[in-house]
Structure 1
Amino acid sequence: MADIQRFAAFTDDPKGGNPAGVVLDAGGLSDEQMLAIAAEVGYSETAFRITAEGDRHRVRYFSPLAEVPFCGHATVATAVALGPGEHVFQTNAGDVPVRVDDAGRATLTSVAAKVADLGEADLGALLSALRWNDFDLDESLPPKVAYAGAHHPILAAARRSRLAELDYDVPALKSLMESRGWTTVQLVFRAADDTFDVRNPFPVGGVYEDPATGAAAAAFGGYLREMWIAPEDATLLLRQGDDMGRPSRITVELVPGEPGVRVSGNAVPINHS
């Protein structure tokens, strides 16, 4: 029987952040068993460590409905469960180095970030599923699809209340995301030059919304760099989960010459009876 640990990531409060399941002894589990465990745990993702050689760990991530190539918050949770030091996670998206300091704060470095255009037809379908329109968009942050281990369309809201009013067509958005290979939708509002409020619908994982999304945070950092919206050496704060009552704080760091994006946050155990 697998030993399932539970952590809240990107917070220092078990009642905040994004809960993640962590299974460190998953070597004998089949794909079907891992999916079943993820569904039973019920969090947006559960991480499974398949093998370990020194500081290298083969890790896979399952939502309640499907495997995902990379998950930031479950990476942070798993790294904190492993303890302080330097770790390398071998994910379906590539190698992800993770450093955990003595205070239990983890910093991952994503695979190389990429940005692609979001076609007009896809943008129209996305806006329709979200029940948004063109007037809801912040023209200074153009819609794109960003990648740093998983694909996320990025839409920027012109007003903070547009995020607070999130109410999307679940079947329509799920179908669109599945057909395009999108993991979550990164909805953002620029509160300051270095601070963004974000929300992440995740219907393809069987979850209405993620309270903290490290993979999307990395992708968004790559987007800001690629679009020359943030400097090459920026440190950014993403505030997520507030509208859900699970406040999360994600630090995104851009390092000159580094193709990946660094994402940092705390993780704390969740007591489960």
Structure 2
Amino acid sequence: MTDVLRYTAFTTDPAGGNPAGIVLHADSLSDEQMLAIAAEVGYSETAFVLREGRTPPHLGLRFFSALDEVAFCGHATIATAVALAERGEGGTVVFETPAGEVEVTTAEVVGVLRASLTSVPTRTRPVPGAALGEALEALRLSGADLAEDLPPLLSYAGNEHLVLALASRQRLAELDYDFARLKDLMTEQGWTTVQLVWREDERTFHSRNPFPVGGVVEDPATGSAAAALGGYLLALELVTEPRTIRVVQGVDMGRPSELLVDVRPDDLRVTVSGAAVELPTAQR
């Protein structure tokens, strides 16, 4: 029987954050078995650690949703790093993922074990007009709902995300979308999530991430999307000096999460950090 840990990332409260399954020894599992385990766990992603043929600090890491393999998953990476550190494998780990190498460092900060991942180099591109129009219709949004000073972009940080900045916090709270229609569009375009954000100030963003391609309506914390947001801000030249961006997510779902995003104007890589905590049996 495969031992599956269950953690929630980007929180210190088991009632918050984004849950992830973790299998710390997965070399004997086939792709089909990993997918079946992820489906049984039922979270947006489950992470599988691979050790054979690798020398620490290098470890393989794969991610499966209930429906398919995902190239990269930030919250499951953070959760895995914390789970490893709690079992004596802390410090710096280099995860070899389908999206490339991702370096993660764990350290205790004010009594809380936190993990920080450094993304692959981010990149952005314009959103094809037809795809943007279809996305807005599926999300039941109009052009008037978008922030005038933050244009839509596709941003990549291991996965590609459509980033849409909204004009008001209220409109973000009112998220309601056509699940099947958005899933079909995202599958066609190869988008992992649609990231809806509202900028409270230059250092604080509120975020919601529809994830129909993963079989769930919404993620309460999305590390890869937070990294993509950092790349988005770099592409718009909104970061002129090293800065930490606080991303608040999951509030409207009742699972508050906090993601810290460190960006530098001279580096296309982005660092995302947060805590993680193992879920008690009653909350699994």
Normalising by structure 2, we get a TM-score of: 0.94
Which residue pairs with 1:53 in the alignment? 55
Cα deviation, 1:44-89, whole Å, max 9, x if unaligned, reads: 1000002252111100000111110000000000000110300000
Q: Does 1:246 align with 2:252?
A: no
Pick aligned residue for 1:135 from 131, 139, 144: 144
Take 1:15 and 1:202, find their aligned partners in 2: how far apart are those partners? 20
Match of 1:233 in 2: 242
Question: Aligned-pair distance for 1:233?
Answer: 1.0
Q: Distance in 1 between matches of 2:38 and 2:209?
A: 19
1:256 Cα offset (Å) = 4.5
Q: How does 1:199-238 map to 2 (within 5 A)?
A: 199-238=208-247
Which runs of 5 or more residues in structure 2 are unaligned?
A: none
> 1:99-178 residue pairs with structure 2 within 5 A?
99-102=105-108, 103-178=112-187
Q: Does 1:94 align with 2:100?
A: yes
Q: Which residue of 1 aligns with 2:20?
A: 20
RMSD: 1.0
CA shift for structure 1 position 232: 4.0
Q: Indicate whether 1:78 and 2:80 are aligned.
A: yes
1:64 aligns with 66
C-alpha separation between the residues in 2 aligned to 1:98 and 1:255?
A: 18
Match of 1:194 among 203, 221, 224: 203
Question: Is the contact between residue 239 and residue 264 of structure 2 (CA under 8 Å) also seen in structure 1?
Answer: no
Partner of 2:2: 2
CA distance in 1, matches of 2:241, 2:96: 27
Q: Is the Cα–Cα contact under 8 Å of residues 115 and 273 in structure 2 kept in the other structure?
A: yes
Conserved 8 A contact 1:9-1:77: yes
Counting matched residue pairs gives: 273
- The amino acid of 1:149's aligned partner reads G
Q: Is the 8 A contact 2:122 2:157 kept in 1?
A: yes
CA distance in structure 2 between the partners assigned to 1:272 and 1:149 by the alignment: 32
Contact 2:240 2:265 survives alignment (8 Å) = no
How far, CA to CA, are the matches of 1:216 and 1:117 in structure 2? 17
CA offsets per residue over residues 115-170 of structure 1, 9 Å max, x none? 00001111100000000011000011100000000000000110111111111000
- Which position in structure 2 is the counterpart of 1:33? 33
Partner Cα separation in structure 2 for residue 22 and residue 272 of structure 1: 15
**C-alpha contact 1:8 1:17 (8 A) present in aligned 2:** yes
Q: Partner of 1:176: helix, strand, or coil?
A: helix
**Kept after mapping to 2: 8 A contact 1:141/1:156:** yes
Is contact 1:225–1:232 with CA below 8 Å preserved after alignment?
Answer: no
SS in 1 for 2:80: helix
Structure 1: runs of 5 or more not aligned: none
Q: Does the Cα contact within 8 Å between 2:99 and 2:159 map onto a contact in 1?
A: yes
**In structure 2, what residue type is equivalent to 1:254?**
V
The DSSP-based 3-state class of the residue aligned with 1:101 is strand
Aligned partner of 1:105: which letter? R
Deviations 1:235-258 (A, max 9, x none): 100000000000000000013433
Which residue identity does 2:137 align to in structure 1? S
- For 1:228 and 1:28, how far apart are their aligned partners in 2? 46
Contact kept, 8 Å, 1:237 with 1:250, in 2: the verdict is: yes
Output the CA distance in 2 between the equivalents of 1:117 and 1:12: 37
| Alpha-carbon separation, structure 2, partners of 1:94 and 1:244 | 31
